[in-house]
Amino acid sequence: MPDHPAEPTSLWDKGWYSPAQRLDSPNYGPRPSGACIDLLVIHSISLPPGQYGGQEVQALFTNQLDWDAHTYFSQIRGLQVSSHFYIRRDGSLWQFVSADDRAWHAGQSEYRGRPQCNDDSIGIELEGLEGDVFENAQYDQLSRLCLDLHRHYPIAHIAGHEHIAPGRKHDPGAGFDWVRLKSSVQLPNQYFPLCL
């Protein structure tokens, strides 16, 4: 485990991360009693797919998306989901659910011998398209966030949505640079999926 400096106490308030812009989602719930928050799950999202810079992701996570604004939205009409964090292409960071609570990002999933990854994971969405590349600013922000989460929670695993729901999900996809993330956070190999 790397030698990290002491965590600044001002970074966290009841699971809310002070560097992030807060926008509360109604889509969350309590974690099961005794849940160990030890997994970070990295996702990618864009709405409509491949279009960046709008407010559609924020609207989706707060149940305010106009389902009639784009033909693609009819495929996800009524979906109620959330993630703890969202990193935009410019590196700006949003938070929708306290990391102490259970966000609705993983769906049917299993990892490190445990099902229902929402119960004990923290979800991080990157604005992007599965298989496409991500921006330097996103990697910089993601690295900072992962390290601050690691200092505050007993994080022992970092995986993609594709690793916890193989065959069902494919994000963040081949365009995500896992080697770069591993190098920047300097965490041991066992934190990452064995397939990397």
Average pLDDT over residues 91-105: 98
Which domains are present in the chain?
17-23+33-46+81-191 (3.40.80.10)
State yes or no: pLDDT of 166 exceeds 90: yes
Higher pLDDT, 91 or 3: 91
Q: What is the mean pLDDT of residues 101-121?
A: 97
The pTM assigned to this predicted structure is 0.94
What does the longest C-alpha to C-alpha distance in the chain come to? 50
Residue 1, pLDDT score:
43
**DSSP for 86-142?**
EE-TT--EEE-S-TTSEES-S-S-EETTEE-GGGGEEEEEEES-TTS---HHHHHHH
pLDDT at residue 194, as a whole number: 80
pLDDT cut 70: percent of the chain above it: 95
| CA–CA separation, 173 and 161 (whole Å) | 9
Catalytic residue annotation? 125
| Model confidence pLDDT, tens digit, residues 30-66 | 999 999 999 999 999 999 999 999 999 999 999 999 9
Has residue 6 got a pLDDT over 90? no
